[in-house]
Amino acid sequence: MKFLNSMDKDFDFEFNKLVNRSNLDMDSVEAIVKNIINEVKTDGDDALKEQILKFDKWEVKNNLKITQESMKKAYDDLDDNMKNTLKKAKNRIKSYHEKQLERSWLNFENDGSILGQKITPVDRAGLYIPGGKAAYPSSLLMNVIPAIVAGVKEIVVCTPAVGGKVNDLLLAAMYLLDIKEAFKVGGASAIGAMAYGTKSIPKVDVITGPGNIFVATAKKLVFGDVNIDMIAGPSEIGVIADDSSDPHLVAIDMLSQAEHDELASSFLVTNSINLAKKVKNEIYEILPNLKRYEIAKKSIEQKAAIIVAKDKCEVIKLINDLAVEHLEIQTTDANSYLPYIRHAGAIFLGHFTPEAMGDYAAGPNHTLPTGGSARFFSPLGVYNFLKRSSIISMSEKGFNEISEICMSLAEAEGLEAHKLSVKKRLK
């Protein structure tokens, strides 16, 4: 774990390494992923079956589709408490995302012209749900619900199957969300299949969902043939804390990301050196008791940093530079920081708002930009499944008012037919 103080001589050099943490070495896997995608484009389902045998180590004997019967059985077998848990999470996530809906609009000009915008959902969305090191029914909820709210009619889900079996809780969540098209395909294979279509898996218009470096690289390569939500890397958290913060809770929250993945990043930025030292000690006390100790240990050792700033202003500057996926503000005056936070995927305010609340049931989406990409990416939302079409209807008066502008610009650009299309309509 790095322990940095902004007063240190080499601070800028060491801190910039953290800022530039997003250097996913996509070049090293790009050739592999290109080959996988090309095989899927050429050989379709046959390629998928071969790739599943090669990478996931199980043989597809029947088809790739997850049956409705298996979803229903998994849901029926759930105890009532877990059924209610899924339902409550679904309702909270749905309620939040309904507020993101955009509306079509028309503006009637004084001259009789009409200008506007038409909002239309994509026809078919492809949702990737990870399933390697763990199963994530919460990710299914977070990806499917915004698509449903947006009005997408056809939803395709792909998820890897360990030994050919899909996690029962994930199956149950599929049933709750009324998923009709779901397939046991993971990694770059799934992205290629959804981007270009196979006999079993239909081609989609947009692909969303997190995944490993192979999934991220595949999404990058297919972008343009389909839309994507973002290119996300390993999970991360940043915590702003001061002397009012409980070092035990700060340490646990940092470890909540570290247990995700060996490559997950955990940062603390504080203006209290005493708190910084206490948090470091707490991390190493809690760490050995975690079930995912080996994963969390590697993450903390290689990707975690505690940063001591000289004052609140510098804390804000440093956290904005890091542009973290999850930002917790655990201070007495957490709300006072909010106007100054410019770059963060999700912001968690106050001592009673651990990042885990956002992962599961608070309502906002947990599919978030990572690796500093919060500078330009947004959380997954309803808007990822919507398109905007401009509407223009010129009256004769409105046409006459701007015809000279259009002809002059067309002439300046050397586009004669453009100019004539206006000139020939003039009376």
Q: For the segment 358-377, what is each residue's pLDDT rounded down to a tens digit?
A: 999 999 999 999 999 999 99
pLDDT score for 134: 67
- Coil, strand, or helix at residue 110? coil
Burial (CB count within 10 angstroms: exposed 0-12, middle 13-18, buried 19+), residue 331: buried
- The pLDDT assigned to 133 comes to 60
Is there a common fold for 2-22+233-362 and 26-228?
yes
Q: 176 Cβ partners below 8 Å, 6+ apart?
A: 75, 86, 87, 90
Name 206's Cβ contacts closer than 8 Å, sequence gap at least 6.
122, 125, 126, 226, 227, 228, 229, 384, 385
pLDDT for 22 beyond 80: no
So what's the pLDDT on residue 379?
Answer: 97
What percent helix, strand, coil does the chain show, rounded to 5? 50, 15, 35
Q: Is 326 annotated as a binding residue?
A: yes
pLDDT above 70 covers a percentage of the chain that reads 99
Candidates 327, 360, 314, 335; CA nearest to 240 is: 327
DSSP 163: T
Q: Is 328 a known ligand-binding residue?
A: no
Q: Which residues contact 14 (CB under 8 A, 6 or more apart)?
A: 2, 4, 8
- What is the set of active-site residues? 325-326
**What single string gives the DSSP state of each residue in 325-387?**
SEEEEESTTHHHHGGG--S-SEEEESTT--HHHHHHTSSS------TTGGGT-----GGGGEE
Average pLDDT estimate for 45-57: 95
Per the DSSP assignment, residues forming a β-bridge with 128 are 158
Q: Using CB atoms within 10 Å of the CB of residue 291, give its burial: 0 to 12 exposed, 13 to 18 middle, 19+ buried.
A: exposed
Euclidean distance between CA atoms 282 and 92, whole angstroms: 33
SS3 string, 299-325, reads: HHHHHEEEEECCCHHHHHHHHHHHCCC
Residue 131 and residue 186 in contact, taking contact as beta carbons nearer than 8 Å: yes
When pLDDT is averaged across residues 363-392 and rounded to a whole number, the result is 97
Phi and psi for 7 in degrees, rounded to 5?
-85, -10
**Residue 420: its pLDDT value, please?**
98
Compute the distance between CA of residue 414 and CA of residue 314 in angstroms, rounded to an integer: 52
Burial track 206-228 (b if 16+ CB lie within 10 A, e otherwise):
bbbbbbbbbbbbbbbbbeeebbb
Per-residue pLDDT, averaged over 137-160, amounts to: 97
pLDDT per position as a tens digit, 254-281:
999 999 989 999 999 999 999 999 999 9
Is the separation of the CB atoms in 48 and 40 below 8 Å?
A: yes
pLDDT digits (tens, 9 = 90+) for 281-312: 999 999 999 999 999 999 999 999 999 999 99
Domain ranges of the chain: 2-22+233-362, 26-228, 394-424
**Residue 257 annotated as binding?**
yes
SS3 label, residue 55 = helix
- The structure tokens listed for 25 are 């070495």
What residues does 388 pair with on adjacent strands?
119
- The phi, psi pair for 19, rounded to 5°, reads -60, -40
What is the per-residue pLDDT across 107-137, written as a single tens digit (0 to 9) for each? 999 999 999 999 999 999 999 999 866 678 9
Q: Is 418 annotated as a binding residue?
A: yes
Work out the average pLDDT over 85-113: 97
The DSSP bridge partners found for residue 329 are 240, 349
| Region 194-200 average pLDDT | 97
**190-202 mean pLDDT:** 98
The gap between the terminal CA atoms of the chain, to the nearest Å, is 75
Torsion of Cα atoms, 239 then 244 then 248 then 253, to 10°? -20
Average pLDDT over residues 345-349: 98
Mean pLDDT over the full length of the chain: 96
Tokens linked to 302: 């290689």
Architecture of the domain defined by 26-228: 3-Layer(aba) Sandwich (3.40)
Residues present in the chain in total: 427
pLDDT at 190 over 90: yes
Does the annotation flag 100 for ligand binding? no
**Which residue's entry shows tokens 């877990």?**
82
Residue 23: band (very low, low, confident or very high) from pLDDT cuts 50, 70, 90: low
For the domain 2-22+233-362, what is the CATH superfamily, name and number? Nitrogenase molybdenum iron protein domain (3.40.50.1980)
Render pLDDT for 406-426 as a digit per residue (tens, 0 to 9): 999 999 999 999 999 999 999
| pLDDT exceeds 80 at position 7 | yes
Amino acid at 235: S
pLDDT band at 162 (very low <50, low <70, confident <90, very high): confident
Q: Average pLDDT, stretch 132-160?
A: 93
- Please state, in angstroms and rounded to a whole number, the distance separating the CA atoms of residues 195 and 227: 9
Please give the full DSSP string across 170-213, using - where no structure is assigned.
HHHHHHHTT--EEE---HHHHHHHHHH--SSS---SEEE----H
From CA 69, how far away is CA 166, in angstroms rounded? Answer: 13
Q: Residue range 230-246: average pLDDT? A: 95
